[in-house]
Amino acid sequence: MGVAVYFALPVEPPWYLGPTMLGGLLCLAMALHRRGNVLLVLMAVIAVAAGFWAAQSSSARIAGPVLKSKMGPVGLTGTITDIETRPHGLRLSLRDSRIAKRPDWQAPKLVRLSLRYKGEPLLAVGDRVRLVQGDLFSSLEGQRYDLIVCNPPYVSDSLMRTLPHEYNHEPTLAFAGGNGGLDFITPLLYQARAHLSDDGLLVVEAGSARDALEAAWPQVSFTWLMSMNDDAVVFVVNAQELEALIGQAEP
């Protein structure tokens, strides 16, 4: 119960609150030890205070207490480690967080953000979800999007021959990317601009084809996203960068 009380607090309590509260209750229990009924109640309260202090001490040891005061709006950056879906939004867990205009030591090691939808959820089954079958964008004539995310087949012919045996249980179409691994990515880059808004982004996992991609377009500055295991195999390009790419000679 005391642990729950601590984590339910909106701000970090003073460091002395837990031990002071527990010490005071213990002294009171000693003074009233002959009064059985009162002592039983005090023991229950002492248990809550002990849990509160244990939670407060644990947070202090890992240097990750809740914020000492409310703040906001404020700029916050960090690495997203977990995304949880909730009935009315999302909850994000961030590590290595930084709070704008605050020293790094004031930022908790783990930050959880709750994102609530205004009105209807941004994504719900029904009118907001539409499944389309086609070859790349062939079935999306005239449609434009703010964000296109793609995990295409990117394994080159030479790597296909060295894949572990368990990959044989998957359809070849899901992996095979041709000679250099770019058979799908190349037309994707040339066709995506027609289906992006002016401020839109294209996010693509290039995987083992990263080197071939950068060799094919050395003049394009792809933005590579770092994953939790320090791999950078997912790139981002915006609509303007795609326009410049289209204007270049096809490799």
CA-to-CA distance for 140 and 10, rounded, in angstroms? 48
Same domain, 31 and 111: no
Examine residue 136 and state whether it is found in any structural domain, yes or no. Answer: no
Length of the chain: 251
Name the pLDDT band for 79 (thresholds 50, 70, 90): confident
Examine residue 251 and state whether it is found in any structural domain, yes or no. Answer: no
Name the pLDDT band for 127 (thresholds 50, 70, 90): low
pLDDT tens readout for residues 18-64: 678 777 777 776 776 666 666 677 677 777 777 776 776 776 655 44
Cis peptide before 14 (omega within 30 of 0): no
Examine residue 50 and state whether it is found in any structural domain, yes or no. Answer: yes
Residue/partner pairs of 9-16 with CB below 8 Å, 24 or more apart: 9/66, 10/66, 10/70, 11/66, 11/67, 11/68, 11/69, 11/70, 12/59, 12/65, 12/66, 12/67, 12/68, 13/56, 15/56, 15/60
Contact 26, 46 (CB under 8 A): yes
Choice between 210 and 16, residue whose per-residue pLDDT is larger: 210
CA-to-CA distance for 233 and 112, rounded, in angstroms? 26
Same domain, 57 and 106: no
pLDDT at 142: 83
Same domain, 107 and 182: no
Same domain, 158 and 226: yes
Same domain, 151 and 219: yes
pTM: 0.52
Phi, psi of 90 (to 5 degrees): -130, 155
Same domain, 90 and 180: no
Same domain, 32 and 92: no
Residue with tokens 């066709």: 191
pLDDT at 11: 64
Same domain, 235 and 162: yes
CA-to-CA distance for 22 and 37, rounded, in angstroms? 19
Examine residue 188 and state whether it is found in any structural domain, yes or no. Answer: yes
Read off the CATH number of the domain in which 184 is found: 3.40.50.150
Same domain, 152 and 211: yes
Examine residue 135 and state whether it is found in any structural domain, yes or no. Answer: no
Query: Quick check: helix, strand or coil at residue 236?
Result: strand
Same domain, 159 and 211: yes
Examine residue 26 and state whether it is found in any structural domain, yes or no. Answer: yes
Q: Which stretches within 104-251 are classed as H helix?
A: 157-160, 185-191, 210-216, 239-246
Same domain, 151 and 209: yes
Examine residue 238 and state whether it is found in any structural domain, yes or no. Answer: yes
Domain count of the chain?
A: 3
Same domain, 161 and 232: yes
**What element of type H or E holds 45?**
helix 36-61
Examine residue 34 and state whether it is found in any structural domain, yes or no. Answer: yes
- What range does the domain containing 109 cover? 76-116
Span 111-127, mean pLDDT?
65
Contact 76, 104 (CB under 8 A): no
| Residue 108 pLDDT > 80 | no
pLDDT at 200: 93
pLDDT tens readout for residues 205-229: 999 999 999 999 888 888 999 887 7
Nearest Cα neighbor of 177 from 208, 223, 135 is: 208
Q: Which stretches within 109-156 are classed as H helix?
A: none
pLDDT at 8: 67
Region class of 222: left (phi > 0), else alpha (psi between -120 and 50), else beta: beta
Nearest Cα neighbor of 13 from 41, 74, 55, 43 is: 55
